[in-house]
Chain A
Amino acid sequence: MMEPVVRMQQVTKVYRSVPAVKDVDFDLMRGEIHALVGENGAGKSTLTKVMAGVVEATSGKMYYHGKEASFTTPSEALRAGIAMVFQETSLVPSMTVAQNLYLGSEAFINRLRGTYISAQQFLQSLNFAVDPTAMVETLGAAKRQMVEIARAVHHKAEVIIFDEPTASLTPEEKRHFFALLHRLKNDGVSIVFISHALEEALMISDRITVLRDGELVASGPTAEFDRDKIIAAMVGRTLSGALYGSQGQRRVRKPGHKVLSVQDISMGSMVRNTSFSVFEGQITGIFGLIGSGRTETFKIVSGIFKRDFLRGGQITLDDRPVRYYTPAEAVGGGIVYVTEDRKSEGFFETMTIGENFLGGHLASRQGGGWLVRTSTMRGLAEEWTGRLNIKAINPDARVVELSGGNQQKVVIGMGLIQKPRIVIFDEPTRGVDVAAIAEIHQILSELADAGLAVVMISSYLPEVMNLSDRILVCRQGRIVEELSPGEATEEKIMYAAVH
């Protein structure tokens, strides 16, 4: 029998006396794609971080090419041939794409032009349409992810761990990415593929391992699994119905007062004369392909971006024209934007949950001044941790130690603590496991039922179709179509998004 490239035996990792991974056995064969699935907090990231030297196991053994190995740093693992592509990108924003690709492997003297040419050839070989001379800070989430993937491939690693690699990719980019995975596999590279998109795991992988609460609950060839079986193993119950029930059973909320009216706002070539309204007591779903300007539109509404100087359109809040120069002003007006990029824009990762909630509280100018009581912070933490069902090892846990779903709930809590009238959720369930998705959907529904105007920007069609009371489709910087849930089909929505 073939020797596994990586074998992990009885691996346990304990954070503050709570096990994140418990006695897990995991094998990775040469030239296989091994999907690792599980709810947020199931221990997927921790297990792979042990593999990649990001964290050290508390107990258990790891064998690499048959020899016991224990990496203490990611660079040590990388030198040995194990690379990890993180869910949240770790690129240097102020450097170009090419410089990021060659970061850490530069020669003593570097010719920039040569670096760019080499990077261009390499990116083209991967079918990634990214300009190597572009500064990373100017790239969108999808292109950053591509650079991250390219960097891992560039190191010629024998084992590559992809943590949610497709979350921000378009369908076309995903196809290129999957083709790349097959190429790597054929070259003998072993791949660990962590994804919440179960269809992708079923389609691309050779084997699937399911973790639940830090323990291995199922592992075997992909042919032995289907979607329901994986979900049942992940959560111990069938969630499909709860997540995306049939449209006929759901209640469509009637529009309340028109709270926000946007007329012909423009911002360069990204947002072009777009007009729409938002009503209280409804979830307004926004669908659009990446680059359609949907995020930029709502960042203008929430004061993060500014619309064009001349003839940039008009935004009215309760029939009163408004022009916000900062997000704080928008918060004052009752508009809160919950970001799609939680790591960069959503929270303070090294602070505790309570400190983050306090940050949201202070941003809303309800804090009452510079002096803050610790009891206020603890009270906020207790209240919102309970309301949003945030699962943390302990109340003083730092946000960076939480799973993706719980981090997202912290970001949502930071927004809701500001007592908004309009909440804009940008990709609220991106990189979040299925159980947390259901909980976040429940939060959105409750907010709309409570009379708030909820805007949900999402790239995931079933989510848009099943959660929204009205669906707006964005294309080339403009809202082009509005559909009701009853008439919306995936084909109709995509037709409007493409044409």
Chain B
Amino acid sequence: MIFDPILDLFRGEAITTPPLDGAFRANTALDDAPVFATLPEVDNLCLHRGRVLASSGSGLYALAGDADPALIETFPAPVSALASSGDELAVGLANGTLIENNTPVALHHDITCITALAYAPDGTLWLANGSDKYGPGDWVRDLMEKNASGSVWRRAPGDGFERMAGDLAWPYGVLPDAAGATVSESWRHRLVRVEGGGARPAFPNLPGYPARLSRCADGGAWLTLFAPRNRLIELVLQETHYRYDMMASVPREFWIAPALSSGTSFLEPLQCGGIRIMGVHKAWAPSRSYGLAVRLDAAMEPQVSLHSRANGRRHGTCSAIEVAGEVLVASRGGGVVLAPEAGEAK
């Protein structure tokens, strides 16, 4: 016993993942939610001139709850980010192109991976550049290589883009305000505050990989998390040689890594007793994919969350927006836009 303080030095840092409790308490709100629209690989949502827009592949669609999605425009590359403010509509493409009001915008040569766009109230455009090594479609590889080469940029009206923060581990959501912006940093499972050149942690240790942020009318925000953290993936992320062997020899869809959807192939990792017992798909199984949208208050503290659990299908939630007091959540893994009752999760 008396040696314990000395032995502590050799115990090594524990790999831990935070529990889904408190504001993150698991529920079935996303799985129970009515479908607002069905759109394969639906990714980013935004509200433009009173219409709900959604990106899917290289197409931009207008959504209405009572009609099929209407294709508005097709781009030469998959759409990786959307933002709107008044009449402005910014579309980021996976090839590193930014199109604003149908006009390509010249970007700094370091911006190659646009993962999120957002307009500040004063018209400033904020841009998240996920990585300087890979495009938005290669996010799994970026995670497995444990890169932290992302950056956040800002363009004031009539000005050029300026780098606000660098060395970020896949910034995937940006929420500007008068003083700066809150950014979701996926690989570090946290929100950071970007102000005056630099990033500082704002909400650490999220239970999953955070994606996009969007503003609510009351000053709060919706944050989506597209995949859960689990012990196995955390372990793989610590085992460098194993990880590189896996990347070299195993098809990418079967890596032990987060996913936007899972359970579609018997070759996937994390099966057997971990997922099912006696044919029962366990809701609390340590799955690779998950659906989670979190309501944050104005101080960016989680208030309530909406879940699609391991036994659900509405996973890979990459975007949520508030429309006339109601929330819409895009489940990329499930290929649907959902209109859950946020109050149910309380």
Contact = CB atoms under 8 A, between A and B. Distances in A.
Interface stretch (B10-18, B51-59, B166-174, B243-251): B10-18
Given A264-B17, A499-B277, A312 B22 contact: no
Interface stretch (B67-75, B137-145, B195-203, B280-288): B280-288
Interface SS, B side: loop
Contacts, number: 63
Contact of A264 (B16, B22, B283): B16
A261 B4 CA distance: 22
B19 A311 contact: no
A277 interface: yes
B87 interface: no
A54 interface: no
Contacts of A310: 11-12
A241 to B, nearest CB: 29
Nearest to B279: A499
Contacts of A480: 282, 284
A264 B231 contact: yes
Interface residues of B, number: 24
Nearest to B4: A325
A275 B282 contact: no
Interface in B1-32: 1, 4, 7-8, 11-12, 14-22, 25-26
Contacts of B16: 263-264, 275, 313-314
A279 B22 contact: yes
B8 A499 contact: no
A482 B26 contact: yes
Interface string A315-348: 0000000010110000000000000000000000
B217 interface: no
Interface in A266-317: 273, 275-277, 279, 309-314
A101 to B, nearest CB: 36
Nearest to A323: B8
Interface string A480-499: 11101000000000001001
A440 interface: no
Chain A interface residue number, banded: 20 to 34
Contacts of A325: 1, 4
A99 B134 CA distance: 69
B278 interface: yes
A258 interface: yes
B184 to A, nearest CB: 21
A481 B4 CA distance: 33
A255 B22 contact: yes
B18 A499 contact: no
A499 B231 CA distance: 20
A196 to B, nearest CB: 33
Contacts of A309: 7, 11
A235 to B, nearest CB: 38
Contact of A499 (B15, B21, B25, B278): B278
B14 A313 contact: yes
A479 interface: yes
A499 B273 CA distance: 10
A275 B14 contact: no
A479 to B, nearest CB: 7
Nearest to A312: B14
Contacts of B25: 470, 482, 484
A275 B26 CA distance: 13
A273 B14 CA distance: 11
A312 B11 CA distance: 9
B19 A479 contact: yes
B22 A263 contact: no
Contacts of B14: 263-264, 311-314
Interface of B: 1, 4, 7-8, 11-12, 14-22, 25-26, 231, 277-278, 280, 282-284
Interface of A: 255, 258, 261-264, 273, 275-277, 279, 309-314, 323, 325-326, 470, 479-482, 484, 496, 499
19 contacts: A262-B19, A263-B16, A263-B17, A264-B17, A273-B231, A275-B16, A276-B21, A277-B19, A310-B12, A312-B11, A313-B14, A313-B16, A323-B8, A325-B1, A479-B19, A480-B282, A482-B21, A482-B26, A499-B280
